[in-house]
A and B are shown apart, each in its own frame.
Chain A
Amino acid sequence: MREKDCLQNMARQVAEYHCPGCGYLYDESLGDDHEGYPPGMLFAELPDDFVCPACAVRYKEDFVSGKPDEHN
């Protein structure tokens, strides 16, 4: 059971991307309902001209995998 949780967490780790500017988090398992990206939509599948929906300063290629750290 523990191992399964751990594996799930590891899978989730790579399935989250955040904006290094404002900390907006894109979680592939949740998508972004407001923006029209359904749950399960991979970050790679987002349009090439995707900009951060929260700050619009950072482009898709600026996004960093994982959660933002405390300061953001």
Chain B
Amino acid sequence: MRTYAIDTPDNGTVTYRDNKRLFWLLSLMNPLIPFVGIAGQIVTGNALWLLAPLGLMFGMGPLLDWLFGEDENNPPEVLVPQLEKDTYYRILTFLTVPLHFIVFFGCAIWVGTQNLPWWGFLALTVAVGFADGFAINTGHELGHKRSRLETTLAKIVLAVPAYGHFWIEHNRGHHRDVATPQDPASARMGESIYKFARREIPGAFHRAWMIEHERLCRKKVPVWSFSNEILQSYVLTAVMQIGLIATFGWIMIPFLVIHNFFSWWVLTSANYIEHYGLLRNKQADGKYERCQPHHSWNANHKYSNLLLFHLQRHSDHHANPTRRYQSLRHFEDLPSLPSGYYGMYIIAYIPWLWYKLLDARLLALPHIAGDLNTINVDPDERERLFAKYGQASG
């Protein structure tokens, strides 16, 4: 295993070994989980195997997070430049890009050529939708980087979940507006994920289009042109999805609709939990304070962080968005989630359970200390929540 070392005047030689180095290879397994169902069906002839991928994601995910626990290890700051230059980490994000295409086409071909029972079709399609939703995670890691190669790969991989507008919306919209009532990608206290999705999905598209429209106007280029970085990714999506319909016929329409929806739903779920209820203060000049570490929820769970390129160390990501995944840090006393994202997704899908667990955690945060006026509250629930906690609306 590689050891990083640097001589410093104050602390002598500082060394660091990434104890997760080899385990990061797990990130390559994540996109391929739907193939477990197909492989099982080929070997045993039993279509029940098509249920296995969803079981692996939502059964094994929370279980392994609980079993392997949390990791609070941070690289020493002086060694971060070396760690960021190590191409090993970069290669893993590059490799996940073709894997998402392989699993998408592999499952489409299976659905298009086999006579599956309706529930087998549905289970496999939802599973590949979820797996390709994690293509947005790969696109997220790549899209934040400044190299042309990485941003190009981001646009390419985002074509699989049909979400080409994501990296513009996320980098320039969400990061700017995060943890404010204006942000369609930050959930409010008292807002269920089902209500949030209806605000988040159209809101994200609209904001991305406005940002790209503004940029192209400055460049004096027509919006409907190939310079439009949203359209670049959409063209690739259209070629792939129309090609599948032309090849395999109408069965591809439900496959693609369900696949695309669940891919988007993965992002909606992540956005829902990442900033739930958190609010940046407004300054005297009318602008919001800069995004602080306590404006994001975090999870240090080993297994899900390995699959998600440390996405769950979300505070450091928002404070330092261009920092690479291998260098993201854990900090003490930040908003923290009781499980990794896989477990939290399931909780989010059951709103009463979500409120029961998360509202208490939110109110207990040190910078909030029970004061609802420092929380991003859903305006429709405002009166009810203030009455519930016996507070006067400020």
Which chain A residues have a beta carbon within 8 Å of chain B's beta carbons?
Answer: 21-24, 33-37, 51, 53-59, 62, 71
Contact A57 B175 (CB under 8 A): yes
How long is the Cα–Cα vector from A34 to B168 in the complex, in angstroms? 13
B276 to chain A, nearest CB (A): 20
Q: Which residue of the partner chain, among B81, B218, B219, B290, contacts A57 with CB atoms under 8 Å?
A: B290
Instruction: Of the listed stretches B95-103, B104-112, B315-323, B339-347, name the one at the interface; the rest are far from the partner chain.
Output: B315-323
Interface of chain A: mostly helix, strand, loop or mixed: loop
Q: Within 8 Å of chain A (Cβ to Cβ): is B85?
A: no
Contact status of A54 and B290, CB under 8 A, knowing A21-B320, A36-B216: no
Establish whether residues A56 and B172, one from each chain, have CB atoms under 8 Å apart when the complex forms.
yes
Complex alpha-carbon distance, A15 and B35, angstroms: 55
CB of A51 within 8 A of CB of B320, answer no
- Dominant secondary structure at the B interface: helix
Q: Which single member of B175, B215, B218 contacts A56 (CB below 8 Å)?
A: B175
Residues of B within 8 A of A37 (CB): 218
Cβ-neighbour of B218 out of A21, A24, A36, A55 (below 8 A): A36
- With a cutoff of 8 Å between Cβ atoms, the chain B residues found around residue A57 in the complex are 175, 290-291, 318-321
In B96-147, which residues have CB < 8 Å from any A CB?
Answer: 144, 146
Partner pick for B322 among A22, A35, A36, A62, CB 8 A cutoff: A22
* B192 contacts partner chain A, Cβ-Cβ < 8 Å: no
B90 at interface by CB-CB < 8 Å: no
Give the CA-CA distance A37 to B214 in the complex, in Å.
12
Write out the residue numbers on chain A whose beta carbons fall within 8 Å of the beta carbon of B171: 56
Residues of A close to B318: CB separation below 8 A:
57
Check if B287 sits within 8 Å of A59, measured CB to CB.
Answer: yes
Q: How far in angstroms is the closest Cβ of chain B from A71?
A: 8
Complex Cα spacing A51 to B173, Å: 10
Q: Are B176 and A51 in contact (CB under 8 A)?
A: yes
Could you pull out 14 A-B pairs where Cβ atoms are within 8 angstroms? A21-B320, A24-B146, A34-B215, A35-B218, A36-B215, A37-B218, A54-B146, A54-B321, A55-B175, A55-B320, A55-B321, A55-B322, A56-B172, A56-B175
Q: Which residues of chain B are within 8 angstroms of A51 by Cβ–Cβ distance?
A: 172, 176
A22 touches B320 (CB 8 A): yes
List the 9 shortest-distance A-B pairs measured between CB atoms, nearest first. A36-B218, A56-B175, A36-B219, A22-B322, A55-B321, A56-B176, A51-B176, A55-B322, A56-B172
